[in-house]
Structure formats: C-alpha cells, structure tokens
Amino acid sequence: MKMVFTLLAATAAVISAPSATAATIVASSTGLTNPQTTINFDEVALASGTSVTNQFASFGLTIDPSLSYTPQTGFPNITGNTLGNFSPSVSGPVTLKFASSLTAAGFNMVSNGSAYSFQALLGGVVIESFQSAVGSSSASNFYGFTGSNFDAIRINNLSSDSYLIDNVQLGVTSAVPEPATWAMMLLGLGFVGGSLRSRRRQRTAVSFG
C-alpha cells in the first residue's frame, strides 16, 4: 500500500514539473548531428508552383497553410526542389507540422530579407521561440530546436520577405507521455490502491469473524 502511494506521489511530481526548455539551432552549418529523417523535397515529383500542404505527409511533414514547390540553385545548402513563400505568394506565419512529437528538428532556410521569429509548439502551445536574421549567402543557415518535446515549428516572417526552406531534419521521436497519458496512469494507480485497500479489509473481516 505504501508503495502505491509512493508511485502516485512520484507520478504527480513528474506531471507538475515544468518541461525542459528547448535549445535553439541558430545559424548552424550542419543542423542536427544524426537526424533520423531528412526531407529534401525531391521525394515527391510535383509541378513547379504547386501549393504544398500534405504531399510529404508520408515522410512525417505537413505544411500549414502552404508553401510553393520550386526548383532552386545557387544558395548554400539549398539544392534541387525546395519550398518557398512566393509564386504563388504566401504571407503570414507558416507552420511545419510533424507526424509525431519530436525532441529535435531543423531545416535550411535562405531569405532576401532579415528578421524572422521561430516558434516550437506542442499541441498548438508555444514552448520556445527565438528571432534571427536570415540571409541568402551564409552556409550557416540551419534553424530549429532540440532538447524538448514539440510537434511543430512556426516560421513568422517579420518583414514580409521571400524565403526558401530545404532539408527538413527530423530528430528523435519523443517517448515522454502526453498529459492525458499521465492522467490515465494516475487513475490506474488509484484503482490499484483502492483494490489493495478493499482486499485488506476483507482479510481483516475474515480474521476476526
């Protein structure tokens, strides 16, 4: 019985503890060290100018609302087919959504402008963010997050500039239970504790009957 309450207390402590702060990948020349998957947008053949949303869902990535499919060369780390926010023009934030919660993700990005905000999200809630200048000539053009659980990265274009992204790197799939899972675990442990108390009362009644 004491063990059950100990487990309950430990589980509650884990739930109430704040999640680890995500580290940022800002102006890195390599991005993730060992990504599990890299999506370079050559996996699916599309017509230039196609609005991309779920065409790469089988590889673990969807785009919301959309980016345009375009072949590009001449930029560091940007080769072959890429996604851009022009032709057709896309304004406002764009979110890279992952098929599952990850602990690391990054991507190449070049721009003809300057200021961008990047946000890591979990269930639509921002858990970490940073701002960075994004140029067109530096090879240090990987951006992203590591060290926490998130299922999307939102790109906020602060200057309404044109940009391209390529080589989306997906890292380790998160093994940390979601809040709903923790709640089910607590209910299960509570049920076990109740059963043990009931059995103990039954044994006591038999002993003194």
Q: Concatenated DSSP letters for 59-116?
A: GTEEEES-EEEEE--SBTTB-SEEEESTTTT--S-EEEEEEEEEEEEEEEEEESS-EE
- Whether residue 196 is contained in a domain is answered as no
Q: How confident is the model at residue 5 (pLDDT cuts 50, 70, 90)?
A: very low
Residue 153 lies in a domain: yes
For residue 182, is it within any domain? no
Domain that holds residue 97: 19-175
Specify if 168 maps to a domain. Answer: yes
150-191: per-residue pLDDT in tens? 999 999 999 889 999 999 999 987 654 545 443 454 455 454
Residue 25 domain-assigned (yes or no): yes
Give residue-wise pLDDT tens across range 15-62.
333 444 668 998 899 999 899 999 999 999 999 999 999 999 999 999
* Residue 141 belongs to a domain: yes
> What's the pLDDT at 194?
54
Structure confidence by residue, pLDDT tens digits, 67-99: 999 999 999 999 999 999 998 888 899 999 999
**What CATH number is attached to the domain comprising 141?**
2.60.120
Number of domains within the chain: 1
Q: How much of the chain exceeds pLDDT 90, in percent?
A: 62
Say if 85 falls within a structural domain.
yes
Residue 203 lies in a domain: no
Task: Output the pLDDT for position 8.
Answer: 39
Burial 48-62 (b: 16+ CB within 10 A, else e): eebebeebbeebbbb
Averaged pLDDT, 2-26: 51
